[in-house]
């Protein structure tokens, strides 16, 4: 199973979304004191998520030259939570990231304004940039398996969303997220495994 998600207009207050205010259910989470909201995967996007959403956060002020680039201390965080509409805290969204929907893009299809893959790739195996599987050694040693990646090659390059992001978040690379399914097959905690660029 591969599901690609791409930014789209109009923006949506529910479901898959990018930028803008974080979901209401997470806007008071302690991590939002130090991190900014980036995106939310829609409920039901993968069997391990079931009816829950996953929101990705990035440490406020993050720069690709910073030191928090290795597992388990990456600057990225992910929260698994019940479906929730956007809240009222746009100030906790990532600066320079325009609010938009995240909608499915058929595998192998390049939509308007897209020269590459989807921005989010949910799959059983990662699509590596440098083809270096050892990058995942530490996160896999803790028993986690790959869940999804956010790939900056998937930013729209023209059209009405060419300005969706002011500057790349992690060096025009990809961040890979992992988790450990419980006996019911659901993942309750999602962790950032590594950055590849």
The Cα 97–Cα 19 span in angstroms is: 5
- The token pair at 121 is 């790739």
Give the CA angle between residues 155, 158, 162 to the nearest 5°: 55
- The token pair at 183 is 């006996």
In this predicted structure, which of 18-27, 82-91, 130-139, 179-188 has the lowest mean pLDDT?
A: 130-139
pLDDT band at 79 (very low <50, low <70, confident <90, very high): very high
What are residue 91's phi and psi, to 5 degrees?
Answer: -65, -15
Quick: pLDDT tens for 139-188: 999 999 999 999 999 999 889 999 999 999 998 999 999 999 999 999 99
Quick: pLDDT tens for 83-128: 999 999 999 999 999 999 999 986 555 444 444 579 999 999 999 9
DSSP state of 193: E
Q: How many CB atoms lie within 10 A of CB 114?
A: 22
Region 10-35: mean pLDDT is: 96
With 0-12 CB in 10 A as exposed, 13-18 as middle and 19+ as buried, what is 67? exposed
The Cα 51–Cα 82 span in angstroms is: 7
With 0-12 CB in 10 A as exposed, 13-18 as middle and 19+ as buried, what is 15? middle
- The token pair at 60 is 């406020």
Quick: pLDDT tens for 30-65: 999 999 999 999 999 999 999 999 999 999 999 988
């Amino acid at each position: 199973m591969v599901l690609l998600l791409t930014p789209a207009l109009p923006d949506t207050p529910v479901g898959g979304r990018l930028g803008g205010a974080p979901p209401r259910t997470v806007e008071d989470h302690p991590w939002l004191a130090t991190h900014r909201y980036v995106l939310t995967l829609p409920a039901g996007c993968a069997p391990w998520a079931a009816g829950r959403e996953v929101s990705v956060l990035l440490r406020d002020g993050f720069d690709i030259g910073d030191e928090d680039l290795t597992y388990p201390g990456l600057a990225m965080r992910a929260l698994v939570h019940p479906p929730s509409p956007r809240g009222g805290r746009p100030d906790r969204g990532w600066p320079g990231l325009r609010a938009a929907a995240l909608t499915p893009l058929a595998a192998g299809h390049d939509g308007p304004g897209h020269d590459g893959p989807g921005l989010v790739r949910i799959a059983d195996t990662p699509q590596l940039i440098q083809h270096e599987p050892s990058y995942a050694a530490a996160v896999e040693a803790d028993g986690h398996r790959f869940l999804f990646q956010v790939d900056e090659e998937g930013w729209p390059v023209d059209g009405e969303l060419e300005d969706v992001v002011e500057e790349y978040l992690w060096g025009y690379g990809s961040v890979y997220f992992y988790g450990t399914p419980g006996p019911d097959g659901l993942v309750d905690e999602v962790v950032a495994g590594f950055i590849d660029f």
